[in-house]
Structure 1
Amino acid sequence: MFKHILIATDGSPHSERAVDQGLRLAAEVHARVTLLTVTEPYHIAGSWPLVGAEEYADYARQHGQERLASGAALARTLRVICEPLVVEHEAPYAAIIDAAMSQGCDLIAMASHGRRGVSAVILGSTTQQVLTHTRIPVLVLR
């Protein structure tokens, strides 16, 4: 079955449920896990005009680690080998695929937020982009 699962989270309630389900699957099949969150790169014209690039990078890294903390704790409880990973990238879907490939993962598990209609078209879907661009199997959790 699966030996190494990448579980992606953005910290939302949907993602947190997917982390829980993905870790329980990993425990069941005795797989190890890379628990991933993607942070946005620093933009001068963005929402951080009063903060420098280095301060933003520290904040983003810390916030990313906080997003992964509860999943890492659950992994310890379930006795799943888990490597938390915070990656900075413009395109979250590309970061997820790149991390899965570089870590040697044989499954990507992630949530679908279930947006429909205009919001799905306008906002796009990271999950849909991962499904479209990877050859690694993807488990979509709701």
Structure 2
Amino acid sequence: MVQITGLKNILICTDGSEFSGGAIREGLRLVKKTGARVAVVSVIDFNPELQALAPDLVDKMETDIRKHLSVIREEAARESIELEAFTRLSTTPYIEIAKEAERTGADLIVMGRRGKTGLKRLLMGSVTKRVIGHAPCSVLVVPREAKLECKKILCAVDGSVYANAAAAEAVMISKRCGADLTLISVVHAETASAFDIVHSQMHHDLIAENELRVAESGLKSAKEFAEKEDVRCESIVLAGKPYEVIVNSALKKSADLIVMGSHGRTGVDKLLMGSVAERVVGNSECAVLVVKARK
């Protein structure tokens, strides 16, 4: 189990763009707080055809990334942080990042994500979502402007083994950091307002009774674990589109971290991470910790 305050090895990923700024800043802060070893990797999306047609362009990309990594080294040195920084060329960057996580023994990958689009539908970038799907460890996704304080944490629970792992993680982080913890479970409601209806007010013709029972059961188990660890928490059931409710609840609670589960690694190239987790990561204004359940 990964605890944000008890990490041993962290891998920070950067693509050299402004969208990696939050991951670099908060990743180094996390290293400073925990004393973990850290490595920084930048994987260039290698295109053999491009190299054949424009070798100078590829060389420039490598040179620019090395300069970017040099700046990160200097920033880390000012905080007395020693780090390993390296660049890689790969036709499948997400696979290369997963391999580097294995090689460095990372128990957490920290990375950024592309900015929101004008659409409500998620477009968070294939590398980030595929890293989450293939990584051997949990992944912390940090939007550019997000700050990770671990003061107010929101954890999404749905009764699955993946959500249970996330809830256990959220409880331990809250315990170690003294954070306020909110456990939330969302049931679907096509016409219900997510914030006007709580479980005590739900109409049976609107919410499937079985779905509500599963949601309440998952919350009960998570809350019992929190109480066992002497962590006080609020638990709520809301209705609506799950990713919208989770993201809006985090805003309402002023959460600086959302914790949620993900399916384990897939055996295919295309990510099967789950649309709710994917959309929360893509639309959240705060950091999102995607916990990988051990098989």
Distance 1:125 1:118, change over 3 A: farther
State the match for 1:54 in structure 2: 203
Trace 1:1-142 onto structure 2 (pairs within 5 A).
1-41=149-189, 54-56=203-205, 57=207, 59=209, 60-89=211-240, 91-114=241-264, 116=266, 117=268, 120=271, 124-142=274-292
Distance 1:67 1:119, change over 3 A: farther
Q: Does 70-79 or 57-66 show the bigger shift?
A: 57-66
Quote the Cα distance in structure 2 between the aligned partners of 1:77 and 1:114: 27
Cα offset, 1:22, TM superposition: 1.3
Alignment RMSD (CA, Å): 2.4
Distance 1:119 1:12, change over 3 A: farther
Provide the secondary structure at the position in 1 that maps to 2:159: coil
State the match for 2:37 in structure 1: none
Quote the Cα distance in structure 1 between the aligned partners of 2:264 and 2:243: 16
Cα offset, 1:7, TM superposition: 0.5
Give me the TM-score of the superposition, normalised by structure 2.
0.41
Provide the secondary structure at the position in 2 that maps to 1:130: helix
Quote the Cα distance in structure 1 between the aligned partners of 2:216 and 2:278: 25
Cα offset, 1:54, TM superposition: 2.8
Greater Cα radius of gyration, structure 1 or 2 = 2
Quote the Cα distance in structure 2 between the aligned partners of 1:58 and 1:124: 21
Quote the Cα distance in structure 2 between the aligned partners of 1:42 and 1:94: 13
Distance 1:12 1:119, change over 3 A: farther
Identical-pair percentage: 28
Distance 1:119 1:38, change over 3 A: farther
Quote the Cα distance in structure 1 between the aligned partners of 2:218 and 2:239: 14
Cα offset, 1:140, TM superposition: 1.0
Distance 1:81 1:126, change over 3 A: same
Quote the Cα distance in structure 2 between the aligned partners of 1:40 and 1:73: 24
State the match for 1:49 in structure 2: none
- Structure 1 gaps, min length 5: 44-52
Cα offset, 1:69, TM superposition: 0.3
Cα offset, 1:58, TM superposition: 7.5
Cα offset, 1:106, TM superposition: 1.2
